[in-house]
């Protein structure tokens, strides 16, 4: 039941976007180019009851805005955006669906999946051309107004140079959830990462940066009773994942960053700006799709009912629109300036550089980052490919970027497997891949070398299995590449058996040797794992970045 008494509402300002607490009240600003009307919904402290529904009457340059002088940090809110529901034209407004603020700094509550999250009637013969009028609010997480003030004190970013960097990629939950020295209440959280046993372990390894994998649920997996553990399906680009908060405050993330910096350890975020969790035309309405589908997503030019999909997830963010570029740049700056992170690894980065269809190394996204006084000074790592035509871009990103070098991975695995004819290719890879990077004036540290990564086999698997065994995740072993360049030395065995076999030990030694004594920047998985290959995907990857002559970890 919506309250009849309305709060005081002032016109507010169109900038900055999002909900901004200024010490006296809160300014709300939401961009939507094609909307007819926008409503701001205020909820009680539990997020279960809608208290007020405010008509946002002011619009400036397609930004809908208002100011609530009585609002305070901690207020839960969402939007309902009115406009035509014409999926055949790419317009998917449905005011029955409560929407997350794209600029929300904190998101409260879990997404409780139901058919009400979809703009159409599930099972209807017209599919997404039909209209669903059920309220999605009861099962939606809520945006929350935050007070960004935090006592950073004398904290300073470590600013470790590339040639001295040792980057340890980890999953926030997976790294501490079974750690016996981390307090039980903090395991699997940002606070857990900031505990003394974890930091001591990283310092003893010589690690200078940790790279945090992203998080978000996926409906397909939820429907199968599974969880999208890796989290490469974002919906909130400004908010730390709530499931990894031991407290109810984003200050926990900031405290983790401050603690890591005090220990000389940088924070790098694995970010997914190429797509969102809303999927294809049959996906849910959670935020962007309901705010302005035609603006935020790339649609098929002659049939905008459907989305262009360069990512294999059902949609692609529309990097050609200036407001979408602004969203991503604002998000990146927020993480650097407000949260003090030290760099980013961009998932499927080739998608971000697409202008029309081709990947353009001088595209707007790369050009804007290159000239940005904040972002150009942090570590930028590209996963230099996507699933679209011409998406493989290893060696083609501009100066200032480092790249995952999968040609190093393939050369080292093939050599360790015993394949012939690998010496020439291996020589290029362990001496800095000059054939890929030198022509554009880039140094060897542009190559982030790795033997294994989170997508695929762990370090143990290439010496333990001839083929992947992913039956446990319900995909009938269809997911993942078949090109693993692995050899089981005669027995398709679990690692605990393999470790006792000389063949496996020797080949692991080759991987470790090649990862610790060359000119560029290698990666390896620690020899830690769970019972099966599918379970092993949660374990961390270490990128050892050392110069020639340095000792390995």
Alpha carbon 540 to its chain's center: 16
Among residues 211, 217, 252, 383, the one annotated as catalytic is 383
Cβ count near 498 (within 10 Å): 22
φ, ψ dihedrals at 21, nearest 5°: -85, 125
Q: At which residue do the structure tokens 């904040």 appear?
A: 374
Eight-class DSSP state of 267: E
Helices of type H across 280-405: 288-296, 322-337, 349-352, 364-371
Do residues 74 and 144 lie in contact, with contact meaning Cβ atoms separated by under 8 Å?
Answer: yes
36 as an active site residue: the answer is: no
Structure tokens at 55: 């008509």
Q: Report strand pairing: 447-449 vs 142-144.
A: unpaired
Nearest Cα to Cα of residue 258 among 161, 332, 165, 151? 151
- The C-alpha atoms of residue 542 and residue 334 are separated, in whole angstroms, by 27
Do residues 335 and 269 lie in contact, with contact meaning Cβ atoms separated by under 8 Å?
Answer: yes
End-to-end alpha carbon distance in the chain: 61
Among residues 50, 252, 309, 347, the one annotated as catalytic is 347
Whether a cis peptide bond, with omega within 30° of 0, leads into 317 is no
**Up-side HSE of residue 56: CA atoms within 13 Å toward CB?**
31
Q: Report strand pairing: 402-405 vs 447-449.
A: parallel
383 as an active site residue: the answer is: yes
Q: At which residue do the structure tokens 């054939």 appear?
A: 435
**Active-site annotation, residues:** 347, 383
């Amino acid at each position: 039941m919506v309250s009849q008494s309305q709060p005081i509402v002032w016109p507010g300002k169109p900038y900055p976007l999002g909900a901004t607490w200024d010490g006296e009240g809160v300014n709300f600003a939401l961009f939507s180019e094609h909307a007819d009307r926008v409503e701001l919904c205020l909820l009680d402290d539990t997020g279960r009851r809608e208290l007020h529904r405010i008509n946002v009457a002011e619009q400036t340059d397609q930004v809908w805005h208002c100011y609530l002088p009585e609002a305070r940090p901690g207020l839960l809110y969402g939007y309902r955006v009115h406009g035509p529901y014409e999926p055949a034209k790419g317009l998917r407004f449905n005011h029955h669906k409560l929407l997350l603020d794209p600029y929300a700094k904190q998101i409260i509550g879990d997404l409780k999946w139901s058919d009400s999250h979809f703009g159409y009637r599930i099972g209807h013969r017209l599919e997404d051309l039909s209209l669903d009028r059920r309220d999605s609010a009861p099962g939606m997480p809520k945006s929350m107004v935050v007070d960004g003030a935090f006592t950073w004190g004398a904290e300073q970013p470590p600013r470790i140079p590339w040639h001295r960097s040792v980057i340890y990629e980890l999953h926030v939950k997976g790294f501490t959830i079974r750690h016996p020295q981390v307090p039980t209440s903090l395991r699997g959280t940002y606070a857990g990462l900031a505990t003394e046993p974890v930091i001591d372990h990283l310092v003893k390894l010589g690690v200078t940066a940790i790279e945090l994998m992203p998080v978000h649920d996926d409906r397909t997996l939820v429907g199968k009773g599974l969880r999208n553990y890796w989290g490469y399906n974002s919906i909130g680009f400004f908010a730390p994942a709530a499931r990894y908060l031991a407290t109810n405050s984003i200050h926990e993330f900031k405290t983790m960053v401050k603690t890591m910096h005090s220990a000389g350890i940088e924070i790098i975020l694995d970010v997914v700006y190429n797509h969102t969790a809303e999927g294809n035309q049959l996906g849910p309405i959670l935020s962007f799709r309901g705010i302005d589908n035609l603006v935020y997503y790339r649609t098929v030019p002659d049939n905008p009912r459907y989305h262009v999909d360069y990512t294999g997830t059902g949609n692609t963010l529309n990097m050609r629109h200036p407001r979408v570029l602004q969203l991503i740049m604002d998000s990146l700056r927020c993480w650097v300036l407000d949260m003090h992170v030290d760099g980013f690894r961009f998932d499927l980065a080739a998608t971000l550089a697409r202008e029309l269809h081709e990947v353009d190394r001088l595209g707007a996204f790369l050009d804007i980052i290159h000239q940005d006084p904040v972002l150009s000074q942090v570590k930028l790592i590209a996963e230099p490919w996507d699933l679209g035509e011409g998406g493989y871009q290893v060696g083609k990103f501009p100066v200032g970027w480092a790249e995952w070098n999968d040609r190093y991975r393939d050369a080292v695995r093939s050599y360790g497997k015993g394949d012939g004819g690998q010496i020439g290719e291996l020589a290029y890879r362990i001496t800095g891949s000059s054939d890929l990077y030198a022509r554009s004036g880039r140094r060897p540290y542009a190559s982030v070398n790795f033997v294994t990564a989170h997508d695929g086999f762990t370090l143990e698997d290439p010496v333990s299995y001839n083929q992947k065994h992913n039956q446990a995740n319900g995909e009938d072993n269809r997911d993942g590449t078949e090109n693993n360049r692995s050899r089981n030395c005669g027995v398709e065995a679990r690692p605990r058996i393999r470790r006792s076999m000389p063949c496996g030990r020797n080949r692991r030694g080759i991987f470790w040797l090649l990862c610790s004594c060359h000119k560029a920047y290698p990666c390896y998985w620690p020899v830690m794992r769970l019972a099966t290959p599918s379970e092993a995907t949660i374990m961390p990857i270490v990128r050892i970045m050392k110069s020639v002559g340095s000792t390995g970890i």
